[in-house]
Amino acid sequence: MTAKPGPRNLITDVPGLRVGQAQDDTIKTGVSVLLGDVPFTCGVHVMGGAPGTRETDLLAPDKTVEQVDALVLSGGSAFGLDAASGVADGLRAMGRGFAVGDQRVPIVPGAIIFDLLNGGDKDWPENPYKGLGQEALENAAQDITLGSHGAGTGATTATLKGGIGSASVMLPSGHTVGALVVVNALGSATIGDTAHFWAAPFEIGEEFGDLGPATTYPDLTTPPTKLSQHANTTIGIIATDATLTKPQCTRLATAAHDGYARALVPSHTPMDGDLIFAAATGARPLSDPLAQTLMLGHAAATCMARAIARGVYAATVSENDTLPTWTDRFG
């Protein structure tokens, strides 16, 4: 059976999930929020050496909380962690959250990228990320604009502007897997000076140009990086409608990191905070857990690689950019 994406080729092809985005183009930053219609099971795995996170400890398999209400991906480095506070406030106003007596405590893990050196005006009088988080929550919908939007607004790679990407795939078992990623890597998503993406072998249709693999390759012992800027980190979410436990979600997030390695060179460096959340809505049980979790992990990796390429491919030009977009350079 030929792999095919869901109807939107977005993470929101997983039923019960929506994504909201908000951005400030003057600052060149933004926030993206994954929201479930109901709480969902979640895991996380960190492979980079410089992560910035909120509430990820509670996602460990041995911790008490089983489900979360939303996940937040944000720009802003440590300042961007405040975006999750805005999302938590909005969810509390909706009556969402973990019940403790007569109180509701929304569970909102988050992660950030470093986008403070991308040409935007960072001289804000007050941290803007709480407000951007609230706005992103309010904008939650099934459609997602890719590229220079939401948390991908100010994202960059070693050679090109980055962005927010998404992709999905429908498996023969009936399960759907979707990825959402903010591509802000130390390394590059394209091969040398060419327009070809490292993720080309996994492309479905023409979702990032249909150029195929490169015919020649550069010296891979010294790939291009933006090491001097320390302006890195790729963060993402892999989601499925499968019924998974927290340990199984953790394994799914771990497998999805192969998608980073397939689409970004180098990846998982000491200066990247590379992280992936895994979200499972639980709508579709596993009939053969061993075989199906294997295929879910494989699908997570290939889907994530495709999402990374789509995020870079869709980036758009804005004032004071420090790097060209893929389209500006190759389109």
Query: pLDDT tens digits for 114-130?
Result: 999 999 999 999 999 99
Q: What is the mean pLDDT of residues 63-74?
A: 95
Domain boundaries, the chain: 11-330
Determine what percent of the chain is predicted with pLDDT higher than 70.
98
190 pLDDT more than 80? yes
Distance CA 252, CA 214 (A): 29
* pLDDT digit string, tens, across residues 159-170: 999 999 999 999
Rg of the chain taking only CA atoms, in angstroms: 18
The answer to whether 40 and 248 are in contact (CB under 8 A) is no
The reported pLDDT for the residue numbered 3 is: 79
The answer to whether 150 and 158 are in contact (CB under 8 A) is no
134 token code pair = 């609230």
1 pLDDT more than 60? no
The reported pLDDT for the residue numbered 228 is: 64
The answer to whether 173 and 295 are in contact (CB under 8 A) is yes
Q: What is the largest CA-CA distance in the chain?
A: 63
pLDDT tier at 230 (50, 70, 90 boundaries)?
low
Distance CA 84, CA 321 (A): 27
Domain 11-330 carries which CATH code?
3.60.70.12
Q: What is the mean pLDDT of residues 148-154?
A: 98
The reported pLDDT for the residue numbered 225 is: 81
116 token code pair = 């403070």
Determine what percent of the chain is predicted with pLDDT higher than 90.
88
Q: What is the DSSP string of 159-224?
A: SSB-EEEEEEEE-TTS-EEEEEEEE--SSBSB-TTSS-BTTGGG--TTTT----S-SS---TTS--
Q: What is the residue-averaged pLDDT of the chain?
A: 95
229 pLDDT more than 70? no
| 108-123 residues labelled b (16+ CB within 10 A) or e (exposed) | bbbbbbbbbbbebebe
pTM comes to 0.96
227 pLDDT more than 80? no
CB half-sphere exposure, 202, CA atoms < 13 A = 26
The reported pLDDT for the residue numbered 218 is: 84
* pLDDT digit string, tens, across residues 200-211: 999 999 999 999
The reported pLDDT for the residue numbered 231 is: 67
Distance CA 203, CA 210 (A): 7
97 pLDDT more than 80? yes
Q: What is the mean pLDDT of residues 256-270?
A: 94
End-to-end CA distance of the chain: 33
pLDDT tier at 104 (50, 70, 90 boundaries)?
very high
